[in-house]
Structure 1
Amino acid sequence: MVNPDPSNDRHPPQTNAAELMVQALQAEGVKQIFAVPGEENLDLLQALHDSDIELVLTRHEQGAAFMAATYGRLTGRAGVCMATLGPGATNFTTCAAYAQLGGFPLVMITGQKPIKTSKQGQFQVVDVVNLFKPITKLSHQIVHGDRIPSQVREAFRQAEEERPGAVLLELPEDIAREPVHAEVFQRSVRAYAEPSPEVIDQVADAIRQAKHPLLLLGAGANRQEIGDALCTLLSCVPLYFCSTQMGKGVVDEAHPRCLGTAALSAGDYLHCAIDRADLIINVGHDVVEKPPFFMEHGGKTVVHINYRSAQVDPVYFPQFELVGDVAATIEALSQRLDGLTIDNAYFGRIHDEIRAQLSEGSDDERFPVVPQRLLAEVRAAMGPEDVIALDNGIYKIWFARNYPAYRANTVLLDNALATMGAGLPSAMMAAMLYPQRRVMAICGDGGFMMNSQELETAVRLGLNLVVLILNDGAYGMIRWKQAQQGLSDWGLTFNNPDFLLYAQSYGAQGHRPNSAAQLRPVLERAFEQGGVHLVDVAVDYSENQRVLIDQLQQKVCLL
């Protein structure tokens, strides 16, 4: 008897759902996944092992998701993170809200126990899908492997479509192992339309009739093509402009008509210009940011330019809305307004007053270092393209106000959820994306300790990164608010580890300047040496009251 050809008994290996998921991610252009995997992710982990996608293992799920959200923020393409069920998934909640409120495209993939049969009852089982629905654009459980291509494509569409945000996909363990036969979908091409010429003409007429028009740049303007279009507009029309915190750097803040950043909601010097304006061209306004001005009926005219219509509330109800391709809209307005003359004498005086006020204290020799000197030294150490990533604390107001940004997305701060713990992972992502730039994480001692374990991840990844810790031994922002309200100075101070030894324990280098004059040389040496460096600097926030309260209360807007 002749043996049959053994090849006749061979069958091509069958793809399972986890492998199909990875293929769908690759079709979306995913290069990295940030993760703390668990038992329920093991099939997906194996599929990643056999793919070209890099697994970036972090020390906490927050570290993974903050890094992925920052990838989305800096590239416009959804960052991807992965965690297991139960506590792994719940550790994503803060990051989901961070991405959702901030407008950062993020896709989270979580595991789950088998949904068809399970011998473990409800062990670690949380209704993750419903938990995430209020803080995402889409939260969905995958119940059939062949649905993965369409569901992954829809997840990325929603995450990246204006306004961007967070999406969650839950892949149960038994579904991940199912054989599948579907093919992946390819990315679609998306374009936004320009508003009609008639509407643009109407808005251009309103701007021409205004006596004191002012340009305001918000979070939604932080796109490269929008920045280019705004530069064209400012070359055609002599508008003065200012930005919200998350709009910093959309246009170079060294521009001679830049009034700076609205770090405070009201009462700052640039608010004198906002009060004087009779028309505000509001590009990229996002209601999640504290509004830098309040509308009143019968007050100033507001032109809303964004990818989406205005979310109306009691203090924001624009009279004109240009909805669609923001860059194309601004370019069209530039053509209509070319050659327009504006009486900018008042705005010019405000501009000079702001510049003089912000330069005060930049050479102060006191130590612990005062914020003005700290900012001057950091700005001197960083080039125009270099990136600082701020955690959250009172220093964020100082950096938003006193630290000029010369390029978009070079000052990464969160004025939406304003969570602590995001500064270090955000800086790590920037360092991965921009290895030729200087990148600095700037954290309060309280915020740093919330995800300080990611120093190990930074060292393991071989990043070049400086972590500047502003050490005051307290939750300084809340302590300042406590003092403002005349309450007892109580309940907000703590002890810190020896940060130099802490850094060394992870394989990083630690530094502690002992004077204001030592700060910049320490930063320069750290950047020149490369690798991960932690700089522990004592900071004195006593200037908060004088500069941010007393001085501003004494100013007078000569309207």
Structure 2
Amino acid sequence: MKASELFVQALESEGVAYIFGVPGEENLDFLNALRGSSIRLILTRHEQGAGFMAATYGRLTGRVGVCLATLGPGATNLVTAAAYAQLGAMPMLMITGQKPIKTNKQGEFQIIDVVDMMTPLTKYTRQISSAHNIPARVREAFRRAQLERPGATHLELPEDTAREDTDAQVIRKSDFDIPQATEHAIDRALAMIQSARRPLLLLGAGANRHHSCIALEQLVKKTGMPFFSTQMGKGVVDERHPLFLGTAALSSDDFLHRAIEAADLIINVGHDVVEKPPFIMGNEAPEEGPLEAVAQARDAQVIHVNYVTAAVDAVYYPQQGVIGDIANSVERLTQRLEPQPHWDFSWFMQVKDRLDQQLLAGAEDDRFPIYPQRLVHSLRQLMPDDGIVALDNGVYKIWFARNYRAYQPNTVLLDNALASMGAGLPSAMAAKMVCPERNVVAVCGDGGFMMNSQELETAVRLKLDLTVLVLRDNGYGMIKWKQSNLGFEDFGLDFGNPDFVRYAGSYGAQGHRPESADDFERILQHCLAEPGVHLIDVPVDYSENEQILHQDIKAQSRAMVDSKKKETGT
């Protein structure tokens, strides 16, 4: 058989269902081999969209998402998606083509060293120079992509290698067990938790897996320990839970940070320093601007519960690690842990009550263009418990992370690791393919949406039932906010937009433009109930972001602390 056919057989052996991509002439042997395969090719309009879809497929399923591009510019268009998957711990394999490596007659045309380019962005990257190597290279790429910590891998299949004849055989995948934490580590962590006075549980992205979620729910139930989440840890435990304090959406001075600062032990389950930190360790605050300042954990001890050891950082150096399968570690702690009479969660619960009250502010605001608090509230009210919201990156992400309660795991897909714009629509498309029976909504700013808006055609062609919210403020709102916050003049960040309703219609999607906040709710309800691809052009007013998120909340949370000190005389 041809090497390209062997490659496809190896992918089938790994259980690949989809390949997302934009093929080129260097992929034609591989493309022909796909014709008779069980694998479905999802042709996208840009390689970056294909990469985002493959990464999200990996994030949601735990299996390796696969994407395809040609050499040169096709491969370079995968770079952002590679970093997205690598930093976000999403298992993904990229396959790229290349000119013949033995008898190329086209000089250096389109040739760059793709393997070298991918080296700092992946866990494993190889050029396949012989058909005989295909089975081992494919098996190793999949193994590395799924091995903790998951991430991106890459294989380059040159034209002449793809045409070779071979009698090599596929290497069947083998199961491997994730190592378990040592008994000594469990004993140490148990002693720290039992002796703490105000232990606080943190849930991060690494805990957002089925068995870990169940184990953590049982831990909270047995111990009565309050918990909070990072942005990528939303939904690990139902956020309607009476012990859920909130999400670390702001960097500092939210009500939640008053709880973090009071904790004497933080049990960090699944968070690592790749995601923007929810707190810093130590007493010295970093010399950074107000938007970058991060809440201090002061002298709190930290237990790092994760699949891999903590990377020591200036702001994160946990005193104890519990390294191994997270679900197993949490189950073992739960079995031996009993609520302690000296635990005092009263302040945490006061913080929760105050935060819950503040989150109601603006939820029923009728002003239009719509205010983000009303937008988030309306979507939460209309989405079913298992509905999936896929967020692009922009200022609205803070409002969703803070105000939108996730009821189930992986129902709020946001990226707080690479935090790339342009991922919202492709991520939502992949989510709909993985979960076709569930409502899926992409939430994009007008800036991020236009970076991959061409994938609307792909969504229509695939006959996906999908709702896309384009939050329009006619500028790069997050950067404008920071520009203002740092005292700079408003400059260089405004742009024009197409008529989004007509733009959606040109792709065969249905466009909608609400004229009031109530009208938005009516249209959204219609779109969630009707088949097809729907785009809602939603003008948004972010004018109160600075006042609410950086001034009012800070003043109110600090006043709460001052009142407590006055009351207790401390």
Q: Which residue of 1 aligns with 2:47?
A: 61
Q: Which residue of 1 aligns with 2:388?
A: 387
1:122 maps onto 2:108 in alignment = yes
Q: Which residue of 2 aligns with 1:526?
A: 527
Q: Which residue of 2 aligns with 1:478?
A: 479
List aligned pairs for 1:154-233, cutoff 5 A: 154-233=140-219
1-side partners of 2:532 and 2:425: how far apart?
15
Q: Which residue of 2 aligns with 1:131?
A: 117
Q: Secondary structure in 1 aligned to 2:21?
A: strand
1-side partners of 2:125 and 2:534: how far apart?
38
C-alpha offsets along residues 133-191 of structure 1, whole Å, 9 cap, x if unaligned? 01111111001101100110000011011100000100000000000111101111121
Q: Which residue of 2 aligns with 1:106?
A: 92
1:48 maps onto 2:34 in alignment = yes
Q: TM-score, normalised by structure 1?
A: 0.96
2-side partners of 1:145 and 1:260: how far apart?
53
Q: Which residue of 2 aligns with 1:454?
A: 455
1-side partners of 2:60 and 2:464: how far apart?
17
1-side partners of 2:203 and 2:427: how far apart?
23
- Answer with 1 or 2: which has the greater Rg: 1
Q: Which residue of 2 aligns with 1:436?
A: 437
C-alpha offsets along residues 418-477 of structure 1, whole Å, 9 cap, x if unaligned? 000000000001111111111000000000000000000000000000000000000000
1:93 maps onto 2:79 in alignment = yes
Instruction: Spell out structure 1 runs of 4+ moving beyond 3 A.
Output: none
1-side partners of 2:339 and 2:193: how far apart?
13
When the two chains are superposed, the root-mean-square deviation of aligned CA atoms in Å is: 1.0
Q: Percent identity?
A: 59
Q: Which residue of 2 aligns with 1:287?
A: 273
After alignment, is 384-393 or 291-300 more displaced? Answer: 291-300
After alignment, is 193-202 or 89-98 more displaced? Answer: 193-202
Superposed displacement of residue 60, structure 1: 0.4
C-alpha offsets along residues 277-328 of structure 1, whole Å, 9 cap, x if unaligned? 0000000122111111111178111000000001001111111100011101
Q: Which residue of 2 aligns with 1:355?
A: 356
Q: Which residue of 2 aligns with 1:302?
A: 302
Superposed displacement of residue 194, structure 1: 2.2
Select which of 94, 105, 129 maps to 1:143.
129
2-side partners of 1:160 and 1:182: how far apart?
24
1:201/1:336 contact within 8 Å kept: no
Q: Secondary structure in 2 aligned to 1:64?
A: helix
Q: Which residue of 2 aligns with 1:408?
A: 409
2-side partners of 1:199 and 1:68: how far apart?
36
Superposed displacement of residue 198, structure 1: 3.1
Q: Which residue of 1 aligns with 2:446?
A: 445
1-side partners of 2:352 and 2:172: how far apart?
50
Select which of 253, 259, 262 maps to 1:276.
262
Select which of 34, 38, 63 maps to 2:24.
38
Q: Secondary structure in 2 aligned to 1:182?
A: coil
1:242 maps onto 2:243 in alignment = no
Residue type of the partner of 1:388? V
2-side partners of 1:340 and 1:115: how far apart?
67
2-side partners of 1:291 and 1:137: how far apart?
23
Superposed displacement of residue 206, structure 1: 1.1
1-side partners of 2:207 and 2:457: how far apart?
35
2-side partners of 1:86 and 1:427: how far apart?
28
Superposed displacement of residue 35, structure 1: 1.1
Q: Which residue of 2 aligns with 1:318?
A: 318
C-alpha offsets along residues 530-551 of structure 1, whole Å, 9 cap, x if unaligned? 1000000110001201111111
Residue type of the partner of 1:401? R
1:80 maps onto 2:66 in alignment = yes
2-side partners of 1:300 and 1:188: how far apart?
42
Q: TM-score, normalised by structure 2?
A: 0.95
Count of residues in correspondence between the two structures: 545
Q: Which residue of 1 aligns with 2:13?
A: 27
Q: Secondary structure in 1 aligned to 2:456?
A: helix
C-alpha offsets along residues 310-365 of structure 1, whole Å, 9 cap, x if unaligned? 10011111111000111011011001113434211111100100100111110001
Superposed displacement of residue 124, structure 1: 0.4
1:238/1:340 contact within 8 Å kept: no
Q: Which residue of 1 aligns with 2:466?
A: 465
